[in-house]
Amino acid sequence: MQVGGVHNKKTYPEIVWFNDEWVKYDEAKISVFDRGFMLGDGVYEVTPFYEGKAFGLKEHLARLQYSLDEIMLDLDASLLKPLMFEAVSKAGLSEKDAAVYIQVSRGVAPRTHYFPDNVKPTILMYAFPATLRGFENKQWSVLVSEDLRWQRCDIKSTSLLANIKSNTESHLLGLDENLLVRDGLFTEGSHSTIFFVRNNTIYTHPEGPQILSGITRKFVIEICSELNIEVKEEAFPLSELERVDEAFLTGTTTQVMAIKEMFSEGNKIYDKPEFGPLTRKIQQAFIQKTRSL
Q: Catalytic positions, please?
A: 156
The CA R_g of the chain, rounded to the nearest whole Å, is 19
Cα 180 to Cα 70: distance, rounded to the nearest angstrom: 24
Angle (CA) 209 240 286, round 5°: 60
* DSSP secondary structure of 71-86: TT----GGGGHHHHHH
Largest interatomic CA distance in the chain: 56
Beta strands in the chain (DSSP E): 15-18, 22-24, 42-50, 53-54, 98-105, 122-129, 139-146, 177-182, 185-189, 193-198, 201-203, 230-232, 246-251, 255-264, 267-271
CA contacts within 13 A on the Cβ side of 270: 27
Least Cα distance to 194 among 182, 171, 178 occurs for 178
Of 111, 99, 120, 117, which Cα lies nearest the Cα of 40? 111
Which stretch of DSSP H or E encloses residue 65?
Answer: helix 57-70
- For every residue of 116-140, DSSP letters joined together read PSS-PPEEEEEEEE---S-GGG-EE
Which residues, other chains included, contact 271 with Cβ-Cβ below 8 Å and sequence gap of 6+? 260, 261
Paired sense of beta strands 139-146 and 177-182, if any: parallel
What is the DSSP-derived secondary structure letter of residue 60? H
